[in-house]
Amino acid sequence: MGLPKARASAVLLVLSALEACALDSYVAAVYEHNVVLSEDTEVPVCPEEALVLMDKNTVILETAIKEVARQGCNIIVTPEDGIYIWVFTREKIHPYLEDIPDPQVDWIPYVAPGRFTPSPVLERLRRNNSIYVVANMADKKPCNGSDPRCPSDGHYQYNTNVVFDSEGKLVARYHKYNLFVTEKQFNYPKDPEFVTFNTSFGYFGIFTCADTLYHTPAVVLASRFQADSILFPTAWGNTLPLLSAVQFHSAWAMGMGVNLLSANTCNSTLGMTGSGIYAPDSPRAYYYNTEMENGQLLVTELSSCSHLSPDYPAAVNWKLYASSIEQLPSNDHYFTGVVYHDLFSFTELTEPEGNHAICQQDLCCHLSYKMAEKQKDDVYVLGASDGLHVIEGEYYLQICTLLKCKSTDLNTRGQLVETAQTKFEMFSLSGTFGTNYVFPEVLYSGVQLAPGEFQVLHDGCLINWTSTSKPVLSVTLFGRWYEKDPPHTQQASP
Ligand SMILES: *[C@@H]1O[C@H](CO)[C@@H](O)[C@H](O)[C@H]1NC(C)=O
Ligand SMILES: *[C@@H]1O[C@H](CO)[C@@H](O)[C@H](O)[C@H]1NC(C)=O
Ligand SMILES: *[C@@H]1O[C@H](CO)[C@@H](O)[C@H](O)[C@H]1NC(C)=O
Ligand SMILES: *[C@@H]1O[C@H](CO)[C@@H](O)[C@H](O)[C@H]1NC(C)=O
């Protein structure tokens, strides 16, 4: 007697996957850091002065690392631009750069300092304290006229993540591929890098900030490489109502079915805050605070092999339910508005309960809802948007959203609101998406998440389990149609 063939190979598959995860779970930490700025970043500094500034930040990061190592954490992520800030020109950042070797050189920087070109940051960043550490810094790589892409100043400058293992060995290096429009100080690598590494507590992938809006390398790491957990340093300015950090990053983890360890910087002037540790089924820990200027540590347990966890969400057919609905959108209360530079078609939810549909281009969105008690100051709309976003990056969106508006004044729809008073007894939102990449967001008053209060059904409906525990700011299916994106732009090439 033997197992049927299909069953036997399924068992083998599970066993080999389990071998990569000797531990069922691990303890993850992220640190939201308020980056110490130089007194005057307009003035060029010498490398020694740059090091003094960087030390102010690495000392703070090292304190957080030691604290979580003492608590028995396996890994900690620190933010993008966490060692020096983002305000540099290409020339001014030069004294801060280090030539970071390929991890294949098998190097423990503090054990063998000076083995490569001067690398004081790498050498200081990491001591042997039994925890994996993820940090963001900048790499420089010399080039010359034999390379037609070589910048005129003779080197490439990359926004770079580094990972040290529990002994302090450099095990991963990732050069950011999708630079934000303001990052003129950096180049992106000619070919995107897919950086992964294995540990006894799971299989990891890594990328940075704006990468999360694009297909490559982010989606490839989660889907083709099947990474269990993604390490994600970021410096994310909150863009309500649909792209605040905790909202979008938790939705990405759920939509892609991975753990996401997201460490943001905090900067109240630029609206940067919001870090979290997100599992595929629900956020496990998160932090959002626009007033605090101190650092913040988050620590929580995660499943090592997220794909094998019993909580792992089943595959979703995103357009199944909405495509089966016959109801045509009524043109009552139909109007258009702009949310973060994207044109939306809206219909207002005038009644405390009902069914609505709204379409734009090829996307039709459907909503059934019942408010617990409609507060008369709260205005809610159902919106649909189907088109190419072109501000601060170009990417194709398909969005269905139930949104609280600032007021009944037509001109303020889509404007930034952070609070609401109306709770919902039920909502069910769906859309006729052309893409399989849809990120489900539920955001409550005060920019709070709704862990464990909602789910996506296999037919693509985003529904709540019970009455919402807090008033609702937005309920959104944020679809990304990557095939319709323009080719990777040349925006940051010199
Ligand atoms: C790091 O510390 C551990 C335990 O304290 C020790 O066994 C190991 O040899 C150390 N590694 C290095 C490279 O110093
Ligand atoms: C130019 O760069 C290439 C690749 O890094 C290197 O092999 C070559 O020696 C360099 N040539 C000169 C003249 O520096
Ligand atoms: C890590 O383990 C996974 C799963 O066993 C395997 O597919 C992958 O190739 C390994 N990756 C590295 C970088 O060793
Ligand atoms: C935020 O960053 C900017 C630089 O972009 C800096 O001028 C400002 O002082 C920072 N704000 C706080 C509150 O740290």
What are the tens digits of pLDDT across the range 294-348?
A: 899 999 999 998 777 777 778 899 999 999 987 666 666 788 888 889 999 999 9
Is the C-beta atom of 127 inside 6 A of ligand 1?
Answer: no
* Residue whose structure tokens are 């060995």: 169
Cβ count near 448 (within 10 Å): 17
In this predicted structure, the answer to whether residue 467 has a pLDDT above a threshold of 70 is yes
Looking at the structure, do residues 370 and 289 belong to the same domain, yes or no?
no
401 C-alpha vs ligand 4 centroid, how far in Å? 32
Is the C-beta atom of 146 inside 6 A of ligand 2?
Answer: yes
Q: Give the end of a domain, one of 283, 308, 333.
A: 308
Looking at the structure, do residues 291 and 424 belong to the same domain, yes or no?
no
- Please say whether the beta carbons of 176 and 208 come within 8 A: yes
Looking at the structure, do residues 280 and 334 belong to the same domain, yes or no?
no
- Give, for 6, the enclosing helix (H) or strand (E): helix 5-19
What pLDDT was estimated at residue 123?
85
User: How much is the pTM?
Assistant: 0.92
Is the C-beta atom of 180 inside 6 A of ligand 3?
Answer: no
Rounded Cα distance, 250 and 262, in Å: 9
Q: Which atom of ligand 2 is nearest to the CA of 146?
A: 1
Least trusted range by pLDDT, from 4-13, 120-129, 165-174, 239-248: 4-13
What pLDDT was estimated at residue 5?
39
What radius of gyration do the chain's Cα atoms show?
23
In this predicted structure, the answer to whether residue 129 has a pLDDT above a threshold of 70 is yes
Nearest ligand to the CA of 206 is 3
The average pLDDT across 145-163 equals 95
In this predicted structure, the answer to whether residue 7 has a pLDDT above a threshold of 60 is no
Residue 445: inside a domain? yes
CA-proximal residue: ligand 2, atom 5 (nearest): 143
Is the C-beta atom of 203 inside 6 A of ligand 3?
Answer: yes
Rounded Cα distance, 247 and 270, in Å: 17
Residue whose CB lies within 8 A of the most ligand 1 atoms, among 167, 169, 170, 171, for a mutation test: 167
What pLDDT was estimated at residue 331?
60
Q: Which atom of ligand 3 is nearest to the CA of 196?
A: 13
Average pLDDT of every residue of the chain: 89
Residue 314: inside a domain? no
Rounded Cα distance, 280 and 255, in Å: 7
Is the C-beta atom of 144 inside 6 A of ligand 2?
Answer: yes
CATH of the domain at 16: 3.60.110.10
Q: Is the dihedral of CA 11, 14, 18, 24 positive or negative?
A: negative
Looking at the structure, do residues 203 and 301 belong to the same domain, yes or no?
yes
Amino acid at 147: D
Q: Which atom of ligand 1 is nearest to the CA of 168?
A: 13
228 C-alpha vs ligand 3 centroid, how far in Å? 11
In this predicted structure, the answer to whether residue 21 has a pLDDT above a threshold of 70 is no
Looking at the structure, do residues 245 and 326 belong to the same domain, yes or no?
no
Diameter of the chain by CA atoms?
78
Is the C-beta atom of 198 inside 6 A of ligand 3?
Answer: yes
Cα-Cα-Cα-Cα torsion 350, 351, 356, 360, nearest 10 degrees, comes to 10
Closest CA to 383 of 344, 352, 328: 344
Tell me if residue 251 falls in helix, strand or coil.
helix
What pLDDT was estimated at residue 17?
46
- Give, for 335, the enclosing helix (H) or strand (E): strand 334-339
Domain that holds residue 218: 5-308
In this predicted structure, the answer to whether residue 400 has a pLDDT above a threshold of 90 is yes
Tell me if residue 101 falls in helix, strand or coil.
coil
The average pLDDT across 187-193 equals 96
59 C-alpha vs ligand 4 centroid, how far in Å? 20
Looking at the structure, do residues 301 and 279 belong to the same domain, yes or no?
yes
The average pLDDT across 389-409 equals 90
Looking at the structure, do residues 149 and 282 belong to the same domain, yes or no?
yes
Q: Which atom of ligand 1 is nearest to the CA of 169?
A: 13
274 C-alpha vs ligand 4 centroid, how far in Å? 16
Percent of the chain with pLDDT over 90: 72
As for how many domains the chain has, the answer is 2
Residue 422's beta-bridge partner residues? none
Measured CA to CA in angstroms, residue 124 lies from 53, 120, 160, 393, 436 at distances of 13, 6, 17, 35, 44
What pLDDT was estimated at residue 18?
45
Rounded Cα distance, 77 and 72, in Å: 15
Is the C-beta atom of 196 inside 6 A of ligand 3?
Answer: yes
Rounded Cα distance, 324 and 307, in Å: 30
What pLDDT was estimated at residue 490?
47
Amino acid at 202: G
Rounded Cα distance, 339 and 333, in Å: 18
Amino acid at 140: K
Looking at the structure, do residues 132 and 50 belong to the same domain, yes or no?
yes
Residue whose CB lies within 8 A of the most ligand 2 atoms, among 141, 144, 149, 155, for a mutation test: 144
Q: Give the end of a domain, one of 285, 308, 331.
A: 308
In this predicted structure, the answer to whether residue 16 has a pLDDT above a threshold of 70 is no
202 C-alpha vs ligand 3 centroid, how far in Å? 9
Q: Give the end of a domain, one of 254, 280, 308.
A: 308
